[in-house]
Amino acid sequence: MATLTIGQLAKRAGVSTATLRFYEEQDLLRPSGRTDAGYRIYEPEAERTLLFIQRAQRLGFSLSDIRLLLARLGSGDLLDETVTAVAEKRYFEIERQLTELLVQRHEMGEFLLELRARAQSESGAAEELYERLIQRVCGHDHGDSQAQATLDWLLERTGCSLAHFGRDQLVRALGGKHIHVWRDGDSYRVLIPGHDPVLGDALAEIAALEADCHAHGAPRLERTDEGYQFTAEGDEAFLFAQFFLDLEESNSAVEG
């Protein structure tokens, strides 16, 4: 494959040329040379390196950590204990943040229980309202996981078209694939590696179903070099991310 100019590489990765220059200043990404006119050029594998940098940044790794990881990748020394320590440290930070949210959800459940107790002295309609909320926060129905039960409620509550999509077909089409989900500004992106046409048809069906959904903007489905990528924007776009994460969990259960 031919080398890439800085503009070509930036376009393929969806970043600005200024971002590439910044990565060069931070010793994260190096051009392989320059044209006669002085423009930076990159080898094709620079795109893969750039995607790695972006993913590591999304995960919260510092630039110094990313620099270390890239150095170990380049030397083939990923078994170095320093690499493990860096990854474990970031994982524990994420677990700490997750625990804080889980504790907050627990406290929200206790708060709703208190509101229900107070509502018992008022109208029956108020008590029924809090009872429904408590079921969503503190419990689940019909043997489903709490996460899936909560997702189903969110989809129904917002009127999202995903609530009426049959998931079995897509779960089978995933076939053990890992789903990559990340936030990008006010949008969420979902990447499913591979170009299986069965998977592509199922994803296209979702895109068509969601085209007129009022809960969030119409998602964009793209076929990239890595696989199929969905992008959903808007205040309720997080529903899209939760939907695909739930699919991956269901797929893991089927594989298991």
- The string of pLDDT tens digits covering residues 192-236 is 988 989 889 888 988 888 887 766 678 889 998 889 998 988 777
Please check whether residues 93 and 130 belong to one and the same domain. yes
CATH code of the domain containing 33: 1.10.1660.10
Question: pLDDT tens-digit profile of 13-31?
Answer: 888 999 999 999 999 999 9
Question: What distance in Å separates the CA atoms of residue 58 and residue 67, rounded to the nearest whole number?
Answer: 15
The alpha carbon of 237 is separated from its chain's Cα centroid by a whole number of angstroms, namely: 11
Which secondary-structure segment (H or E) carries 225? none
Say what the pLDDT of residue 241 is: 85
Phi, psi of 30 (to 5 degrees): -120, 135
Q: Is 219 part of any domain?
A: yes
**pTM higher than 0.85:** no
Q: How far is CA 52 from CA 49, 65, 71, 179, 234, in A?
A: 5, 12, 12, 16, 26
Does some domain include residue 47? Answer: yes
Asked if residue 232 belongs to a domain, the reply is yes
Q: In terms of residue numbers, what domain contains 10?
A: 4-59
**Domain contains 35:** yes
User: How much of the chain exceeds pLDDT 70, in percent?
Assistant: 82
* Cβ atoms of residues 51 and 42 within 8 Å: no
How far is 37 from 89, CA to CA, in rounded Å?
A: 44
